[in-house]
Amino acid sequence: MKTLAFALLLGSVQAAPLPKLQLDLSQTTVSGLSSGGYMAAQFHLAHADWVKGAAIVAAGPVYCAQNNLLTALDHCIHKVDSAIPLDAINQQLNDWMTQGKLAGKTQLAQSRVWLLHGNKDQKIHPDVAAGLYQQYQQWLPAAQLSYVSDKPFAHHMPTLNAGSDCATSEAPYLGNCNYDAAAQALAFILPGFQAATTEATGQVYPLAQHQIAGDAAATMAEQGYVYIPKACAEGESCRLHISFHGCNQAVEAVQMAYVERAGFNRHADSNKLVVLYPQARASKLMPLNPQGCWDWWGYTNADYANRQGPQIQAVVKLAQALKG
């Protein structure tokens, strides 16, 4: 009965084969909330040669946890018991750039980045969010970086009219804030952004993550999702946006709430934007990840935050598969 109910809930998901897409990956953008925000920033730095924009909600500095869960808990979430060692963290990132494990600073400097941290957020400390802003300040010209920190939002993805009360943080971690964070983000990071004039008219398709990405997707769900506007399905040239859910926000936890209601699909049609929603999965065994978070502290391997990280490699394969 549970399986049947879940299948009915996925009624808007098309089980048909994916349409052949004319997808330009050279102008890809990413977004994410919380652990998905950490992941979006990691993915951006790893592939800034073709990922040209990032929108990050409620997250801290890239490599803040330094491959250690206790370090993550000490100064990368809701408390800062010890100062965040940004100099040491940035030195590691610089080393990875030199080794080719991250994109170079010249490529990174051509990006646009939009950051949001609600001042009612009790999950991510203000100093943690400010640390990510400080990181990006060293890489980007001021005109290419936006940091929104004066909105009364709790720990969630703010939306126009979906989700819970804006002042609370609860599943599915969408905030009914009369604020279209997806639109604000895309307007800043996406060249030629066009605001939506109608509801989304495209389709959501399932994506076989394990089949496409193999062992790299071992810590991810078997199935991800992709929203494809009608124009893109019919063969027009389109761009890719990759949006990473937060902890406890994958489809296995909140069903299709983030995929369908975070706000990105509504603006995808008018911008010819295919939106990929990769899915992490919860695990109570090794690697321990009971909340289904993306790896931002090292539960996959020590290279989790660079090009050799399994989840980053898996999502690259998903993007390439969409391109065909």
Give catalytic residues, as residue numbers.
34, 121, 155
Listing from the earlier edge strand, what are the strands of the sheet with 203-208? 145-148, 112-116, 51-57, 22-33, 237-244, 273-277, 223-228, 203-208
Helix or strand (DSSP H, E) at 240? strand 237-244
**In the chain, what is the greatest distance between 2 CA atoms, to the nearest angstrom?**
54
CA distance 224 to 27: 21
**220 and 301 in contact (C-beta within 8 Å)?**
no
Q: 322 pairs with which residues across the strands? A: none
How far apart, in whole angstroms, are the C-alpha atoms of residue 61 and residue 9? Answer: 36
Q: Tell me the one-letter amino acid at 121.
A: D
